[in-house]
Amino acid sequence: MPPPAQRILLLNIGLGTLVVAVGFWLLWGTFSPWLVVLWALLVAAFLHWKCRTITEIWAWSTLLLGLESFAWPLQLMIQLKSAAAGPSDEEMGTILSAVVLGLFSSVFWMSFSYGLFKRKPETPPPPTLSSTPAPPAQPPRRKKR
């Protein structure tokens, strides 16, 4: 059984993957469920490979959710454009709602992600190879006259 810290990371990876997969499913609801499962597995593998802290997991998850929110109005416009020669008033209202809500939520999730990335602790620089510290430079001495 993994240590408690590892279990918490795995739980957060699972929850972050679930959030991103639901966003993908809402975006591409017409796709096969197997494609959503494949997307979820790819996201889970990416989060497990890239993230070492809970902050990183949620920063990447919210960034992906923001990108999905941004893609939603674009996908809807392409879908409605291919359906008919010219969009009706009802379709134009749907597009306007998607653009306003999609861009609002996209900006929110990407800003949230940016804040989490800025909050992430910095990694310390690697230690130097020299075992003894270099002596401090001595200032030149002035001669007395």
40 inside domain = yes
Scanning the chain, the segments in alpha helix (DSSP H) are: 4-27, 33-50, 54-83, 89-119
Contacts of 86 by beta carbon, 8 Å cutoff, 6+ apart:
none
Q: Which band of pLDDT confidence, cut at 50, 70 and 90, is reported for residue 83? A: low
Q: What tens digit of pLDDT does each residue of 114-145 get?
A: 999 998 766 655 555 655 666 667 777 777 76
Computed over every residue of the chain, the mean pLDDT equals: 85
70 inside domain = yes
Q: What tens digit of pLDDT does each residue of 39-53 get?
A: 999 999 999 999 999
Domain count, the chain: 1
64 inside domain = yes
61 inside domain = yes
What is the rounded CA–CA span in Å between residue 48 and residue 28?
Answer: 24
- The pTM assigned to this predicted structure is 0.76
Can you give the residue range of the structural domain that contains 34?
4-119
113 inside domain = yes
144 inside domain = no
133 inside domain = no
What is the rounded CA–CA span in Å between residue 28 and residue 36?
Answer: 9
129 inside domain = no
Mean pLDDT of 74-88: 76
